[in-house]
Amino acid sequence: MRISFIIPSRNNLVYLKQAVQSIQRCYQDQHDIVLLDDASTDGTWEWISQLQGDHFIKYRNPGPDRQGHTILYDKGVELSRTEVFTIFHADMVTTINHIPNLLKHLKPKVVVCATRIEPPLHPPGPEKLVRMFGFEPDQFDLDQFSLYVDEQEQINRDQTTEGIFAPWCMYKKDFQSIGGHDALFAPMELEDSDLFNRMQLVGYHLVQARDSFVYHMTCRGSRFKQGIEIEAEIPLPDGSVWYKPKDSEEYLALRAIKVREWRRKWGSDVMHDHYMKPIVPPKYNIGFCINNCTFEVLRELEPWCTDIYTDLASQQYLEQEQPNTKFNLTKRVHNLSTAPNNDVVVHFDASKLTTTSMQMLQNLALILQDSGAVGTFRLDIFTISVKQLVELQPEFIYASAILHHTSRG
């Protein structure tokens, strides 16, 4: 089966060249390669432009502003000519059996991912193999890597687990039927976790092929740049060392914003099991009614609920936070005199908040799910009134549906 590699890149040319060369080395022109340049200034578009062959599909965002891979992955899928595609990072190296060993598990409504082999720049986990074959393309040991892949293919022949992480492949129609990536997470960060949650909700089967391998230089288009700076060397229980890189300032700032967007949408933090299979906790229509509220409490708690009602003048918060979110905060932040219209209403005094009670609020949906209680009851410092417990996540399967949802109309 012919498929399409979807590869956005921004100022990542040294890695992109290695990725494309690995695809051509392993597959020649058997598969399409969709290359999307995101307003790069390092010669990426000039290099893409000179590539020859009908199997190349090329797209350029002329800039000056970046679109981000959240947008460009979907643009690449739109431009693709095959029924099946794979999301492939510009800092990855494919292998000869990477695609065949994915496709043997692929069916409609199934998403299949490969197993990443990574240098020790992230903590180890059962969903990947940590093995050093080079931090940078000019250090990459292809011969030793190929021998290791051959060995691991034999050990893990036809084995699978349930989970999802890049690089993954699926049918184009299944991807587009749920709206692709959610632009809420553009230009990048948590867009993949959001998509995986929605795949889980719609009932797609998430499979990791344990005998399909890529090498991943690790987040070079986002968190860590070329010539990474090692922040700490952390010994691990198995005797190995985790070389913790320093995150880029751009990444840290964007991450903070997207974590808040995630909480507004899902009402929780990202959750998954040890094989990276998404765990989607319940989300209910919850309103917080807060006396003696402070700016700090408003900032901390606003993303965790559907509506927040306070005795604090909120204009400063709205002016500061609205530029960082696609949610209309005037529909979420209300004066305490406004009658709440939520399925669950929580009354409390902010001056009595503790670390423990704050954690209760952040985990309230799970507490309510476990209790199933309807009515009014006390929990720690909170008075909680539950009219009904209707889970909202099914409304968010299609990308960006959350932005059209509000409890107050």
Mark whether 260 and 294 lie in a shared domain.
no
pLDDT class for 408, splitting at 50, 70, 90?
very low
Task: With respect to residue 91, please indicate whether it lies within any of the assigned structural domains.
Answer: yes
Q: What is the DSSP letter of 404?
A: G
Mark whether 158 and 237 lie in a shared domain.
yes
What's the mean pLDDT in 132-156? 96
- Round to whole Å and give the CA distance between 334 and 349: 16
Q: What is the DSSP letter of 135?
A: S
Which range has the worst mean pLDDT, 36-50, 57-71, 390-404?
Answer: 390-404
Task: With respect to residue 122, please indicate whether it lies within any of the assigned structural domains.
Answer: yes
Structure tokens at 276: 């990276």
The residue among 213, 232, 266 that closes a domain is 266
pLDDT tens per residue, range 293-333 = 999 999 999 999 999 999 999 999 999 999 999 999 999 99
- Round to whole Å and give the CA distance between 50 and 46: 7
Mark whether 261 and 333 lie in a shared domain.
no
Mark whether 174 and 38 lie in a shared domain.
yes
Mark whether 312 and 166 lie in a shared domain.
no
pLDDT class for 260, splitting at 50, 70, 90?
very high
Which conformational region is residue 278 in: left (phi greater than 0), alpha (psi within -120 to 50 degrees), or beta?
beta
Say how far residue 37 (Cα) sits from the centre of its chain.
Answer: 20
Mark whether 143 and 176 lie in a shared domain.
yes
17 within 8 A of 137, measured Cβ to Cβ: yes
Task: With respect to residue 87, please indicate whether it lies within any of the assigned structural domains.
Answer: yes
Place of tokens 């219209």: 341
Smallest Cα–Cα separation from 136: which of 95, 93, 103, 94? 93
The domain of 314 spans 286-390
CATH number of the domain that residue 183 is part of: 3.90.550.10
The pair phi, psi for residue 199, each rounded to 5°, is -60, -45
End-to-end CA separation in angstroms for the chain: 48
- Of the two residues 234 and 76, the one the predictor is more confident about is 76
pLDDT tens per residue, range 263-282 = 999 999 999 999 999 999 99
Q: What is the CA radius of gyration of the chain?
A: 23
Place of tokens 């402070």: 294
pLDDT class for 249, splitting at 50, 70, 90?
confident
- Round to whole Å and give the CA distance between 184 and 403: 8
Mark whether 201 and 243 lie in a shared domain.
yes
Structure tokens at 141: 């040991």
Mark whether 178 and 231 lie in a shared domain.
yes
Smallest Cα–Cα separation from 135: which of 222, 226, 214? 226
Q: What is the DSSP letter of 67?
A: -
Task: With respect to residue 271, please indicate whether it lies within any of the assigned structural domains.
Answer: no
The residue among 237, 266, 295 that closes a domain is 266
* pTM over 0.85, yes/no: yes
Structure tokens at 238: 């198995």
Structure tokens at 365: 């949906």
- Round to whole Å and give the CA distance between 267 and 260: 10
383 within 8 A of 344, measured Cβ to Cβ: no
- Round to whole Å and give the CA distance between 171 and 84: 4
Task: With respect to residue 407, please indicate whether it lies within any of the assigned structural domains.
Answer: no
Task: With respect to residue 230, please indicate whether it lies within any of the assigned structural domains.
Answer: yes
- Round to whole Å and give the CA distance between 83 and 96: 21
Smallest Cα–Cα separation from 222: which of 259, 244, 243, 249? 249
Task: With respect to residue 277, please indicate whether it lies within any of the assigned structural domains.
Answer: no
Residue 379 belongs to what H/E stretch?
A: strand 375-379
Q: What is the DSSP letter of 247?
A: P
Q: In 3-state terms, the chain is what percent helix, strand and coil (to 5)? A: 35, 25, 40
Concatenating the DSSP letter of every residue in 309-327 gives: EESS--HHHHHHHGGG-SS
Q: What is the DSSP letter of 187?
A: S
Number of independent structural domains in the chain: 2
Mark whether 260 and 295 lie in a shared domain.
no
The residue among 234, 266, 298 that closes a domain is 266
Mark whether 223 and 258 lie in a shared domain.
yes
Structure tokens at 357: 């009670």
Mark whether 240 and 376 lie in a shared domain.
no
Count the Cβ atoms, other than its own, within 10 Å of residue 290.
Answer: 22
Q: What is the DSSP letter of 329?
A: G
Mark whether 237 and 166 lie in a shared domain.
yes
pLDDT tens per residue, range 45-79 = 999 999 999 999 999 999 999 999 999 999 999 99
Task: With respect to residue 276, please indicate whether it lies within any of the assigned structural domains.
Answer: no
pLDDT class for 409, splitting at 50, 70, 90?
very low
